[in-house]
A = this chain, B = another copy of it.
Amino acid sequence: MQTTFLEKYQKARKEKDSILCIGLDPGLREFRRGDVVPLKYERGDVEKGLLEFCLETIEETADYACAIKPNSQYLLFTLSIKELKKITRKARENGLISILDHKLSDIGSTNDAAFYWIKEAGFDALTYSPFAGNIQEATNASHKRELGLLVLTYMSNIEAGWIQKQSLYEWKPLYQKIAEEIRTYESDGAIMGATGHITMDDIRMVRQQIGAEPLILFPGVGRQGGSLKPPIQAGGDNILINIGRDVIYDKNPGQKAKEYQKQIKQEIKDYKNQLEKQRRTAK
């Protein structure tokens, strides 16, 4: 029987003892390791430079993470299917799941063209924007191609609020309705920012709506200024914490990933101790 995306996530997470996801977002202007701009890029060979940067980042961080999340806007104009396959293969060989941060947002026939190519490239899942309203159709079509689908629910940028929280569908904030659809149509999870405009209550609401099993992927920690506490204290067990620029541009990405892994584990431990204490006091 086929392993589902959520089973792959559980396996990787257990093996790595980590819920850290590495965001591969190499922007051309920032593209560096500490103070060093990779040679290949300096010489103008952007394609090779970007590919090597991604492969190197995967190798160095793989011991401390359980997933990678390359973003299409940074990579897809220079890398094509052949190079994407190298990235997903490197991830798989290192025990990581790979999620294409694609924010797909099209009509059914066009979405399916994307699913075809994303599967060809070897990804385990993709991110999906529900603006076109077709969560059910997209979930079914992606599952047919053995891809997990993670749905944008309440995004990390501050401008997301007016449409995702303040807009109402049947008197409910849109993000709540999206969370309901994730559960109803059995998508693989939600995406929520770990940034300041999203409250612990927002996160608890989404976890309650989607149920215990689906994933919540949290971008926004690190350069975007988000905090580890909300995802860990309100997100439930099955979460992924994404760190992008703060790890990939460090002069030692492996060391940086290790620090984040440690920090996350400490936060989880502290929170469990705190809960235990509250339980005892309540008796």
A residues in contact (CB < 8 Å) with B: 25, 27-28, 47, 71-74, 76-81, 84, 103-111, 113-114, 116-118, 120-121, 129-134, 136-137, 152, 155-157, 159-164, 166-170, 174, 177, 224
**Please, which residues of chain B bring their CB within 8 A of the CB of A168?**
167-169
Taking a contact as CB atoms under 8 Å apart, the answer to whether A77 and B73 are in contact is no
Number of copies: 2
A137 touching B113, Cβ below 8 Å: no
- Taking CB atoms, residues of chain B closer than 8 Å to A131 are 105, 129-131, 152, 155, 160, 163-164
User: Chain B contacts of A110 at CB under 8 A?
Assistant: 25, 71, 73-74
Q: How far is the CA of A224 from the CA of B108 in the complex (A)?
A: 11
Given contacts A74-B110, A80-B80, A132-B155, 16 further A-B contacts (CB under 8 A): A71-B106, A71-B110, A77-B81, A77-B118, A103-B105, A105-B152, A107-B155, A107-B156, A107-B224, A131-B160, A133-B162, A133-B163, A133-B164, A134-B157, A163-B174, A166-B170
